[in-house]
């Protein structure tokens, strides 16, 4: 196969990976390789600016949010939880952050403590604030995940609303 055809079908990384021959290391060599890697990671992390560290932490939060959105509902991992983690990562107090996205500090506190649901404007402002690292749709899906769980599991609401339905379709199975 020609190089042009290869480049059309595969990325450079995929081509390079296919040409790599895995090395068999002894336990001692593997331990040394692990130490060398840890040293190199520490060195590269030490060279990062505070802004770069924040950006990487926000990216990590995004990936954790993506993973959670694929998982089943966990009441501890709600909108407020992720919003509070975001504030911690960016080193902002609630008052300062509320000013940055121009909402009242009380509203922000209610969002963090899950006393209120975010509206579309807040969700968009969170996306803009993160420079689109965390898309608005993730914040939206996070808020909706809790609502979806509530709708699926709230039998008392079903019982409360049943008297308002005067006719139920009769279906044969």
Structural domains for the chain = 50-150 (1.10.260.40)
Task: Write down the pLDDT at residue 3.
Answer: 66
Which residues make Cβ contacts (< 8 Å) with residue 134, sequence separation at least 6? 58, 61, 62, 65, 86, 126, 127
**CB–CB of 79/114 below 8 Å?**
yes
Distance CA 89, CA 98 (A): 15
Q: Identify which of 124, 157, 145 has the alpha carbon closest to the alpha carbon of residue 76.
A: 145
Give the pLDDT confidence of 81-125 residue by residue, as tens digits: 999 999 999 999 999 999 999 999 999 999 999 999 999 999 999
Give the pLDDT confidence of 15-31 residue by residue, as tens digits: 777 776 667 888 898 89
Burial class of 38 by CB neighbour count within 10 A (0 to 12, 13 to 18, 19+): exposed
Average pLDDT score over residue span 57-68: 96
Longest dimension (CA), the chain: 76
Task: Write down the pLDDT at residue 133.
Answer: 96
Task: Write down the pLDDT at residue 26.
Answer: 87
pLDDT band with cut points at 50, 70 and 90 for residue 1: low
Task: Write down the pLDDT at residue 11.
Answer: 79
Give the tokens for residue 23: 């090395």
Give the pLDDT confidence of 144-159 residue by residue, as tens digits: 999 999 999 999 999 9
**CB–CB of 86/130 below 8 Å?**
yes
Distance CA 66, CA 76 (A): 16
């Amino acid at each position: 196969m020609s190089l042009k055809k290869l480049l059309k079908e595969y990325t450079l990384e995929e081509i390079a990976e296919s040409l790599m021959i895995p090395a068999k290391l002894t336990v001692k060599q593997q331990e040394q390789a692990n130490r060398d890697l840890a040293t190199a990671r520490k060195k590269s992390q030490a060279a990062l600016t505070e802004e770069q560290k924040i950006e990487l932490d926000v990216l990590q939060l995004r990936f954790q949010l993506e993973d959670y959105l694929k998982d089943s509902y966990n009441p501890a991992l709600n909108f407020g939880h992720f919003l509070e983690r975001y504030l911690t990562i960016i080193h902002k107090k609630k008052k300062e952050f509320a000013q940055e996205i121009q909402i009242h500090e009380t509203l922000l506190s209610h969002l963090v403590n899950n006393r209120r649901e975010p509206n579309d404007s807040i969700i968009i402002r969170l996306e803009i604030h993160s420079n689109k690292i965390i898309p608005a749709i993730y914040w939206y899906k996070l808020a909706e995940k809790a609502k979806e769980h509530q709708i699926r599991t709230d039998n008392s609401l079903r019982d409360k609303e049943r008297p308002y339905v005067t006719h139920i379709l009769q279906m044969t199975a």
